[in-house]
Structure 1
Amino acid sequence: MRARAPGRLLPDPARHRRRLQGDVRRCSRTLRGEDAIAVKDDNAVAWGAPAIVLRCGVERPADLTVTAECFPVEDVGWFVETIAGGYLFTTIGREFHVSVEVPDDYEPAADTLIELAETVKKHDPEVKPCV
């Protein structure tokens, strides 16, 4: 754990990322009715075809500014980007960034975030609420 101020400790982000990935792999064998699929990226978990892809510890999106809109879903704040064939959601206000790519085939896309919310909240502590 890292020291924040005298007597206060911050969670270790790497440990939380590993636990989030492990929990997602164990508990989320299916997502949106799709089975988990193998991926080569150690920081990713995926389901279905076309794949819904969750990545842990991603970089802050370039377009995520202090004025960017935050969309809360089940008490997890998300930054939304439209990408070719779907959406890219990235957590806001948490210890580390988690991204979820959701292809258009899985409309409404927010249902994916609802299914993942409890696991994200459990392993990626909120630092600043989405307002």
Structure 2
Amino acid sequence: MPVAVPEPAPEVVDACTTLIKAFPPKVLDAERRDTDPVSPLTAAYGDPPIEVTCGVSPPAGMAEAQSQCFEVNGVGWYAKEAANGVIFTTIGRTLYLELAIPKKYTPEANALTDVSDAVKAHNTLITPCT
């Protein structure tokens, strides 16, 4: 399944490449696999794939949804329901990172626990969840 690759500024590409490399070999016991197209800004896990994309734009509605920010292991996330699951986007960090998690992995938010250490280490906190 193809994963859309964003086209952020070069400094965002460099920071995202470091962050994606730091992601774990498994998320929710799903093995890491290649994306199509292969990109340093994306990763995928399992089948159906949990899709990770770094360097995305903030989702529509996120700015007015600060009250919807929830924190998992020190990382703030904005959740948006999608047709086949939930899309989570980091809040209050220098990079916008998105995890698209299919319903197969319910409860989808459990995947955030697996990636939080990498996000904390490689995506600088600007403002915490409120």
CA displacement at 1:104 relative to structure 2? 0.7
CA distance in 1 between counterparts of 2:52 and 2:26 reads 13
Q: How much does 1:16 deviate?
A: 2.3
Cα distance, 1:79 vs structure 2: 0.6
Structure 1 gap ranges (5+): 1-11
- Higher share of residues assigned strand: 1
Residues 6-63 of structure 1: CA distance to partner in whole angstroms, max 9, x if unpaired?
xxxxxx5443212101112xxx222111111211151110001110011111111111
Residue 63 in structure 1 maps to residue 61 in structure 2: yes
Inter-partner Cα distance in structure 1 for 2:12 and 2:120: 13
Structure 2, unmatched stretches of 5+, are 1-10
Is the radius of gyration larger for structure 1 or structure 2? 1
Give the TM-score, by structure 1 length: 0.83
Counterpart amino acid of residue 91 in structure 1: T
2:91 match: 92
Root-mean-square deviation (CA), in Å? 1.3
What stretches of structure 1 move > 4 A for 4+ residues in a row? Answer: none
Identity %: 29
Length, aligned pairs only: 117
Q: Which residue of 2 aligns with 1:3?
A: none
Q: Which structure ranks higher in relative contact order (CA pairs < 8 Å, sequence separation ≥ 6)?
A: 2
> What CA distance in whole angstroms lies between the structure 1 residues aligned with 2:16 and 2:95?
8
